[in-house]
Structure 1
């Protein structure tokens, strides 16, 4: 089973996505961690080329080989929205780290659900409002 997982990870986007989810990387600027501001572009369906972008604060990364997932949270129209994404899903077109998190000392940031004022201490508030093109 380990061989199957390694092969699936190797095939996914030439390993670029695998570098996002490394546990102990050489360069921490390329890996996704809790507290990062992340933009995920997903395809709406397998047949059409339309896509949707979601930008949010990464609450946590759950590293489980091919089943790796991560949770993003954002405030949309005064309502907290959380979306879980599968890291190696073929429906994900692109994952970009807009800003590395600072000031967070935990691996999972679930306490931010009850303290929304701590959630968005970053400077790129304009980038949080991305319209679909």
Structure 2
């Protein structure tokens, strides 16, 4: 991994400042309900508007992104936007709030009502100077299969009542400290039982190969 380029960072910051002179980028968090208008040559009026709940934020500088989710015609729709994309014409926060978790990707496995936002929602103004409220809601999950074993994540905004106590206790063994959550070795490390099974298979294979060589 190389060092960061000061020149590249400077040029990116300059581009970000220039972009902010053209479009107002409001304060928002994961859990906020937003509306985004983007240029679309195939849409009527050459622009399209999408309303949804912000489920993820990532990247930094010119690479900053955010994801909006909504249920359209009984189908979950997730759109990832580049925050500084020149295609974005307007970003509007309809309801400013936070959630208990910093990533709401699990909403794709939650019941649809937790992702359904009225496209014609009237904006709710946030009182200036007041702290951003935290929505304490705990979403109900759909029956398995899920995109991921969410019970193994240390999530605060999910109700896992559909799972047995035994499964929940087993899932807690997978909880990791914050400094280990992004450690790829921890994610790909095999349990001891699996390692022993693989070792036996290798030994048996080596014995078979040795037998064949002596036979020749």
* Structure 2 contact 64–82 (Cα < 8 Å) conserved: yes
Distance in 2 between residues matched to 1:111 and 1:35, nearest whole Å: 12
Q: Could you tell me which residue of structure 1 aligns to residue 13 of structure 2?
A: 6
Q: Which one of 108, 114, 128 corresponds to residue 113 of structure 1?
A: 108
Quick one: distance in 2 between partners of 1:15 and 1:49? 20
CA distance in 2, matches of 1:32, 1:9: 17
Matched, 1:58 2:65: no
* Cα pair distance change 1:7/1:49, threshold 3 Å: farther
Which of 85, 88, 95 does residue 91 from structure 2 map onto? 95
SS at match of 1:127: coil
Alpha-carbon deviation of 1:15? 7.4
In the alignment, structure 1 segments of 5+ residues that lack a partner are 21-29, 129-133
Report if aligned partners of 2:51, 2:119 keep a CA contact under 8 Å in 1: no
Higher strand share: 1
Tell whether 2:27 aligns with 1:31. Answer: yes
Q: Given the superposition, is the C-alpha separation of residues 115 and 72 from structure 1 closer, same or farther in structure 2, using an over 3 Å criterion?
A: same
- Equivalent residue in structure 1 for 2:68, among 66, 72, 86: 72
Residue in structure 2 matching 1:83, options 66, 79, 84:
79
Distance 1:16 1:42 in 2: 12
2-structure distance, mates of 1:126, 1:88: 23
SS class of match (1:3): helix
Provide the residue aligned with 2:120 in structure 1: 127
What CA RMSD, in Å, does the superposition of the two structures yield over aligned residues?
2.2
Cα distance per residue 1:70-118 (max 9 Å; x no partner): 101000000000111111111110000001235x211111111111333
Q: TM-score, normalized by length of structure 1?
A: 0.73
State the secondary structure of the residue aligned to 2:120.
helix
Structure 1 residue 32: Cα displacement: 1.5
Structure that is richer in helix per residue: 2
TM-score by length of 2: 0.47
Which protein shows a greater Rg? 2
By relative contact order (CA 8 Å, sep 6+), the higher-ranking structure is 1
